[in-house]
């Protein structure tokens, strides 16, 4: 069973190929402007090594994030699904972080979207999985720091996991973890049960902040 995972962050775009649940290959590309062009370049390289018409599953984020990037990846996934018959399974943009979290009861997850907007949400672990504890938040770095400080005051054991490099939150601060996320981590999250059937894109357009 061959599956393909597509993921786009604020700086990179990546494609991961799995055979059952074993990672076979990951393709990454840094980009400046055109994400869609970047994903086609990666898929072209990927097709040299794997038969994309033999895919059984395609894993994809449905947001939050940039509407243009999310909608473009969804359209590409739908086209691949038509040609291969693969089933598309979605995960939220927070899902790739969950496989890296082990013991924390409450964890704040933060990543950067377009136009320097940070998306962050507080999650709580129940048994073996993480669930939203508060609603999604977004804003600039100063908005996040204010929120983080408030939550730390009421929860001393609060952990922060982020792919964004804060200037004044040091990497060696206890319970602060910096992780780069990619398509392979999205797939691993879905393997753990974080896949969702809803294909509606949950985006945030920074022009309307």
SS (H, E, C) 124-176: EEECCEEEECCCCEEECHHHHHHHHHHHHHHCCCCEEEECCCCCCCCCCCCCE
Is the pLDDT assigned to residue 39 strictly greater than 80? Answer: yes
**Distance (Å, whole) CA 144 – CA 150:** 10
**Distance (Å, whole) CA 168 – CA 65:** 25
CA atoms within 13 A on the CB side of 134: 13
Tell me: do 193 and 114 sit in the same domain: no
**Distance (Å, whole) CA 174 – CA 101:** 14
Q: What single-letter DSSP state applies at residue 33?
A: S
Tell me: do 128 and 199 sit in the same domain: no
Tell me: do 171 and 192 sit in the same domain: no
* Domain tally, the chain: 2
What was the pLDDT predicted at 208? 41
What is the percentage of the chain residues whose pLDDT exceeds 70?
Answer: 89
Tell me: do 113 and 169 sit in the same domain: yes
Tell me: do 86 and 101 sit in the same domain: no
What is the percentage of the chain residues whose pLDDT exceeds 90?
Answer: 53
**Distance (Å, whole) CA 194 – CA 95:** 7
Q: How confident is the model at residue 178 (pLDDT cuts 50, 70, 90)?
A: confident
**Distance (Å, whole) CA 45 – CA 22:** 20
Range of the domain at 81: 2-93+182-208
pLDDT in tens, 48-91: 999 999 999 999 999 888 777 888 899 999 999 999 999 999 99
CATH code of the domain covering residue 13: 3.30.420.40
Tell me: do 79 and 123 sit in the same domain: no
Q: How confident is the model at residue 3 (pLDDT cuts 50, 70, 90)?
A: very high
Tell me: do 87 and 99 sit in the same domain: no
What is the average pLDDT score of the chain?
87
**Distance (Å, whole) CA 111 – CA 43:** 25
Residue 43's nearest CA partner among 80, 88, 87 is 80
Tell me: do 186 and 160 sit in the same domain: no
What was the pLDDT predicted at 209? 39
**Distance (Å, whole) CA 163 – CA 47:** 29
pLDDT in tens, 78-135: 999 999 999 999 999 999 999 988 777 789 999 988 677 899 999 998 888 999 999 9
CATH code of the domain covering residue 115: 3.30.420.200
Is the pLDDT assigned to residue 157 strictly greater than 90? Answer: no
What was the pLDDT predicted at 170? 58
Is the pLDDT assigned to residue 169 strictly greater than 90? Answer: no
């Amino acid at each position: 069973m061959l599956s393909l995972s597509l993921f786009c962050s604020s700086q990179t775009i990546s494609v991961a190929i799995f055979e059952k649940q074993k990672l076979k290959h990951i393709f990454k590309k840094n980009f400046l402007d055109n994400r869609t062009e970047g994903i086609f370049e990666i898929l072209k390289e990927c097709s040299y090594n794997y038969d994309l018409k033999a895919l059984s599953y395609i894993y994809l984020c449905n947001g939050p994030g940039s509407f243009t990037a999310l909608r473009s990846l969804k359209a590409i996934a739908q086209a691949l699904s038509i040609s291969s018959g693969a089933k598309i399974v979605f995960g939220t943009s927070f899902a790739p972080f969950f496989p890296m979290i082990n013991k924390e009861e409450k964890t704040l997850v933060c990543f950067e979207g377009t136009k320097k907007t940070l998306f962050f949400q507080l999650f709580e672990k129940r048994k073996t999985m993480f669930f939203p504890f508060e609603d999604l938040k977004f804003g600039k770095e100063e908005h996040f720091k204010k929120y983080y400080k408030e939550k730390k005051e009421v929860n001393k054991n609060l952990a922060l996991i982020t792919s964004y490099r804060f200037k004044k939150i040091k990497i060696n601060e206890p319970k602060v973890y910096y992780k780069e996320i990619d398509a392979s981590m999205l797939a691993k999250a879905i393997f753990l049960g974080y896949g969702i059937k809803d294909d509606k894109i949950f985006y945030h357009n920074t022009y309307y902040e």
